[in-house]
Amino acid sequence: MEEKEEFRTQLLELSKKIKSTLERGIDDAREHNPLSESRDEADLGSATVDLALQMSSQKTLLEILNLVEKALKKIETGNYGFCELCKREIPIQRLRMIPYAPYCVECQSKIESKK
Ligand SMILES: [Zn+2]
């Protein structure tokens, strides 16, 4: 996959952000409004992730961190970008939005509907 390095960088950034969010503490992260901060408009994708991180509970953050670390391992082993359930390739557009996504959209919705 050509974009592998791109995703590796994103995932490493994300893992740093999650760790610092966890260190700062969730309440503190919620106090400042992410929307009022000036943002790089070319970087809307990651602004969405930032916002999602700030809205997340500590439990969710730990889950995401776990997924990010798994995704990084998969980059190392060359399994990155494949759905863990059906083993098909996850569309690149999905990975751009959620670089740590372990499943394709179909499998993800199947899993969610079981909850
Ligand atoms: Zn799948």
The pLDDT tens digits of the residues spanning 51-61 come to 777 778 889 99
What pTM does this model have?
0.74
Q: 62 C-alpha vs ligand 1 centroid, how far in Å?
A: 23
CATH of the domain at 74: 1.20.120.910
Q: What are phi and psi of 89, to 5 degrees?
A: -70, 135
**Tokens 């439990």 map to which residue?**
59
Domains: count for the chain? 1
Cα 105 to Cα 86: distance, rounded to the nearest angstrom: 11
Instruction: Locate 54 and state its tokens.
Output: 């700030």
Q: 42 C-alpha vs ligand 1 centroid, how far in Å?
A: 30
What residues have their beta carbon closer than 5 A to ion ligand 1? 83, 85-86, 104, 107
- Provide the domain limits for residue 78: 4-114
Q: What are phi and psi of 17, to 5 degrees?
A: -65, -45
How many CB atoms within 10 Å of residue 37?
Answer: 9
Q: For the segment 29-65, what is each residue's pLDDT rounded down to a tens digit?
A: 455 555 544 444 445 556 666 777 777 888 999 999 9
Which residue, among 94, 76, 99, 21, has the nearest Cα to 107 in the 3D structure?
Answer: 94
Cα 71 to Cα 103: distance, rounded to the nearest angstrom: 11
Q: 95 C-alpha vs ligand 1 centroid, how far in Å?
A: 13
